[in-house]
Amino acid sequence: MRIGLFATCLGDTLFPEAVKSTAVLLARLGHDVVFPPEQTCCGQMHVNTGYQREPVPLVRGFAEQFGDPSIEAVVMPSGSCAGSVRHQHEIVAERYGDAALRSGVAAVKAKTYELSEFLVDVLDVTRVGAYFPHRVTYHPTCHSLRMLRVGDKPLRLLRAVEGIDLVELPEADACCGFGGTFAVKNGETSSAMLQDKMRHVTGTGADVCTAGDASCLMHIGGGLSRIKAGTRTLHLAQILASTRTAPYALTEAAR
Amino acid sequence: MSSTFLGMPAAPPRSPYGTGNLRGDRKFPKAASGELRNEQLRRNLGKATRSIRAKRLAVTGELPDWERLRDAGSAIKTETMNRLPELLEQLERKVTEHGGTVHWARDGVEANEIVTRLVKETGSDEVIKVKSMATQEIGLNEHLDTQGVTAYETDLAELIVQLAHDKPSHILVPAIHRNRDEVRDIFRREIPGVDPDLDSVPAHLAAAARAYLREKFMTTPVAVSGANFGIAETGTLSVVESEGNGRMCLTMPRTLITVMGIEKVLPRYRDLEVFLQLLPRSSTGERMNPYTSMWTGVTPGDGPQEFHLVLLDNGRTAALADRIGREALNCIRCSACLNVCPVYERAGGHAYGSTYPGPIGAVLTPQLAGMHEAKGDPNSSLPYASSLCGACFDACPVKIDIPSLLVELRHQHTERSGVTAEKLAMRTAAAVMKRPKLFTAAQKAAGAGRVLAGRDGTFSHLPPPFDSWSDSRDTPAPPKQTFRSWLASAEGAATLRAAAEEGVPAPGPTGAAGPHDPEEQR
C-alpha cells in the first residue's frame, strides 16, 4: 500500500524518533512510505484555542499534500492530529473555505488514520515482530479514546510484543491535563491533573509509560522528569519498532 | 405598491449584566487557583465525584438500550427547541385551562418581581423552596430578602449551603464541597435550638434538619419551586427529587409558584418515559428517584389552590438563536458531566462563578449571560476551562457535544477580541507553517536553541506565558535533527530500505508466526 506519512509538527521537530519508528514499522510491513515534503501542521492548536481563520492555509496545505489519489492512506503517530483532520478540518472548511477546500478536506479525511487503528483495522495485524523486554503501562490519550474510538487497539498491539511486561494503569481513561494551550492558560488546574496521572503511572512500577500521542507524552514525561521519577515516556511506535536485532536501548534520557 | 424596510430583527437579549448568579467576579484560572489550594475541598470533591461516577456507570451499563435512550432523549430535545414558541403557547393554554396562571418573564429581574408580587399577594413574608436551578440562576432568594420575604431552602444540601451563607458548587449536590464534620458545625451554629452536642453521624444530621424543616412545611402558606419538565400536551409540571421535601412543598401550601426555564418544556406526556429513565440514572446513579411529583393546574380540595407558572427566558432565546450553541439548551441538569470532568473535580464548582458549573456551565453560562459584556468579562474564560478530554460528551444523557460547543465558543471569543498578543502569535505560527521553507528554517532555529538547555537536555524554566507550564514540567530541547532532515539524509533512506528488505522480524524461540498474537486467536 502507498502510505502518506504525516509527521505532525511536534513529532517532526521535537520527537523525530517516534516518527522514524512509524516509518520503519510501515516499511517492515511491506508498505511504500511517502513523505509529502511540503507538509507542516494540521492546525489543531489553532482550532482548539478558538482560531479558525488563521489555520485555513494549514488545512488547505494538508488537503493538497495528501490529496494525491495515489496515496491510499494517510497515517500519523498521533490520535489528536488524526482527530483534528477527521473532525475539525471540515468545520474550518465549511466556515472559511471554498468549495474546492471542502471537497479536498472530505476526500483526505476519509483515508486518514492514527497509527494503531491503521495497523489493526486497515492492515489487520497486531503482531509486528516487536521485542521490548520492559515493564510498560499504557495511557490512552483522550482524543484517541473518545474522538477516534481506538478502543483497545493499542493494547492489542502491545500485548503481542515479545518480552513485554504490560501493567494496567489505574484510572487510565482520565485526562493527563495537557489539552494543548489549556496547560498554559490553566496551568495550575492542568498541573493538578498531571499530579494524579503521575501518581498512577509511578504506582505501576513501570519503566515506560507509553501512549499514541507525542503531545500528551511530552506533558506526562515533562512532569516525570521534573520529579525525577524512574519512569520515562516512549511513543507506542517506538515500542512497536523495537526488535530483537535492533532493540530499543532504554536510557534515562528525556526522549 | 410601496415597500417598507422593517429593519433587521435585533438579537435576543441575554441575562442582564450585573443581575443574578451567572457571572463570577474573577476569571476561571484565578478563581481555580484559590480552590486548588484548598486540600479539604480537593478531598471532598475527589471522593464524592468518584463515588457518583461508579454508581452512574453501574446503572447505565445495565440497560441494554441505554444508547438508544440517549438518542431518543437527544431527538426529543432537538424537536423541542425547533418548536419552542408553539410548545410554550400550548403549555400556557393547558395550564390556564386547568386553573393555573402563566406569567412570562423576559429575564431574571422580571421573574424576581413577578414572584415577589405573587408572594406578597398571599400576605406571607415567608416562602418554602424546592431545590431549583432557575431560581438560583436569577438570585431569587437574595431579591426576596431585600423585599422583606424570607426564603427557606428545604432540600438538605441547599439548606446546608443557605445556613452556611455559602453558594452551591454543584448542580445536583450543592454542598458537595462540604464534609459531614463541616455540616455538623454549620448546623450547631445556625439552626435555632439545635442540640449543642449534635454529632456528625449522617442520620443525626438529617434528623436535625428534618425537625427544623417540619415546622416550616406545616406553617408556610406559599412555596416556590423549579420544574424538571413541563408537558405542553397536558399542562403537567413535574419535579423529581430524593428527599420528599419537594413533595411537601408542592402539596401542603395554599399557593405554589413554579419558575421554569422555557427550555424545560417537552412536547408530549409520553416523552417522560425517556427522561424519567435518563435523568435519575445519570444524576444520582439511581434506577429511579424516590419522589416524582406531577401536577396539572389546580385540583379543587387537593393540594395548592392557587398555582402560578413563571416562564423564564433570561438569555435562553439568545442561546436558541445560535445555530451551534443552542445544543446546550438540551441539558436536563443531571450533572453527569460535572462528575466526570477532571477540571471540575480539581477546581470545584465555585471557580466557574455561575449557578451552572462544570462542562455544561462552561457552555451554558456564556450563552445565557454573554461573555463580552464588560472589559475582561470573567465569562470569557469559561470556554477555556477544559482540556477538551471529551468525558462530558460520553456521559451526557442527551448527547450534547460539549467539547465542540467549547471550541465554538472559543472561536466566538477570538472573533470578538480584536488583535491580541495571542492572536498575533497564532497568526505568526500559521504564517510560518503555511510556508514549508520557513517552517524548516524555524525548526532549525528551534534546534539551535538546544544549546540553552540544561545538562539533562531539558528546559526547566520558560518565560511567560509558558511559566505556568514550566512550573511543574521540564521541556525537552529539540534534537539535533528533525524527522524530515533525517529522512532526506543518506542514513534515513538506508534505514527505510533496510526495513523494507528485513520485513517483519520472525518471533523469538517461544513466539509463534503470523500477523496476530497467539493469545488473540484463541
User: Predicted ipTM?
Assistant: 0.96
Matching residue, cell 523495537: A242
**Do residues A47 and A111 share a domain?**
yes
Do B384 and A127 lie within an 8 Å CB cutoff? Answer: no
For residue A97, tell me if it sits in a domain.
yes
- Percent of chain A surpassing pLDDT 90: 97
Q: Peptide bond preceding A69: is omega within 30 degrees of 0, i.e. cis?
A: no
Q: In this predicted structure, what is the pLDDT of residue A182?
A: 97
* A254 belongs to a structural domain: no
pLDDT band (50, 70, 90) for residue A255: very low
Q: Are A110 and A145 in the same domain?
A: no
Question: B187 vs B178, B182, B184, B308, CA distance in Å?
Answer: 12, 9, 5, 33
Q: What is the pLDDT of residue B425?
A: 93
Residues A105 and A7 in one domain: yes
A48/A116 same-domain check: yes
A68 and A155 in a single domain? The answer is no
- Residue A10 sits in the same domain as residue A105: yes
Low-confidence residues in chain B, pLDDT < 70 = 1-2, 509-514, 517-522
Q: Identify whether the C-beta of residue A209 lies closer than 8 Å to the C-beta of residue A131.
A: no
CA distance B511 to chain A (A): 7
Examine residue A139 and state whether it is found in any structural domain, yes or no.
yes
Q: Which residue of B has its CA nearest to A124?
A: B515
Q: For cell 479514546, what's the residue? A: A145
pLDDT digits (tens, 9 = 90+) for A47-105: 999 999 999 999 999 999 999 999 999 999 999 999 999 999 999 999 999 999 999 99
Contact B342 A61 (CB under 8 A): no
> Would you say residue A255 lies in a domain?
no
- Domain assignment of residue A251, yes or no: no
| Residue of A27, A189, A192 with shortest CB distance to B496 | A27
Task: Tell me if B445 sits within 8 A of B439, measured CB to CB.
Answer: no
3-state helix, strand, coil in chain A (%, to 5): 50, 10, 40
Q: Domain map of chain B by residue range?
A: 63-314, 433-494
Write down which residue in A70, A95, A122 finishes a domain.
A122
Q: How far out from the chain centre does Cα B176 lie?
A: 15
Contacts of B495 in chain A (CB under 8 A): 20, 24
Residue environment code for B486-504, b if the CB has 16+ CB neighbours within 10 A, otherwise e: bbeeeebeebbeebbeeeb
Write down which residue in A95, A122, A149 finishes a domain.
A122
A139 and A118 within one domain: no
Per the structure block, which three cell numbers stand in for B270? 409520553
Q: Write A250-255 long-range contacts (CB < 8 A, 24+).
A: A250/A134, A250/A207, A250/A208, A253/B457, A254/A221, A254/A225, A254/B456, A254/B457, A254/B458, A254/B474, A254/B476, A255/A15, A255/A17, A255/B457, A255/B476, A255/B479
d(CA B181, CA B204): 12
User: Is A141 found in the same domain as A227?
Assistant: yes
Cβ of residue A226 closer than 8 Å to a chain B Cβ? yes
- What's the distance, Cα to Cα, between the start and end of chain A in Å? 30
pLDDT for B283 equals: 95
Q: Which of residues 384-443 of B touch A (CB under 8 A)?
A: 384-391, 393-394, 407, 409-414, 422-423, 426-427, 429-430, 433-434, 436, 439, 443
Q: Which CATH class is domain B63-314?
A: alpha beta
In a domain, A76, yes or no: yes
Q: What CATH number is given to the structural domain containing A149? A: 3.40.50
**Among A85, A93, A77, CA closest to A17:** A77
Helix pair B272-283, B39-61: axis angle to 10 deg: 140
pLDDT band at A254 (very low <50, low <70, confident <90, very high): very low
Identify the domain containing residue A231 by its residue range: 135-240
Q: Which residues of A25-40 are buried (b: 16+ CB within 10 A; e: fewer)?
A: bbbbbebebebbeebb
Among the three residues A70, A94, A122, which one is the final residue of a domain in this structure?
Answer: A122
Report the domain count for chain A: 2
B515 touches A: beta carbon within 8 Å: yes
pLDDT in tens, A4-44: 999 999 999 999 999 999 999 999 999 999 999 999 999 99
Residues of chain B in contact with residue A180, where contact means CB-CB under 8 angstroms, are 388
Q: What is the CATH number of the domain that holds A7?
A: 1.20.1050
Whether residue A56 sits in one domain with residue A149: no
Residues A119-145, mean pLDDT to the nearest whole number: 97
Same-domain check for residues A16 and A109: yes
- CB–CB contact B343 A189 (8 Å): yes
Mark whether A104 and A180 lie in a shared domain. no
Cβ neighbours of residue A62 closer than 8 Å, sequence gap 6 or more: A6, A39, A42, A43, A85, A89, A108
Residue A202 Cα, gap to closest chain B Cα (Å) = 16
What is the predicted pLDDT for the residue at B521? Answer: 43
- Contact assessment for residue A159 and residue B516, using Cβ atoms and an 8 Å cutoff: no
State the alpha helices, DSSP H only, in B290-420: 316-320, 336-340, 342-347, 358-369, 391-395, 402-416
For residue B407, list chain A residues with Cβ-Cβ distance below 8 A.
Answer: 47-48, 50, 88, 91
A251 touches chain B (CB under 8 A): no
Residues A141 and A234 in one domain: yes
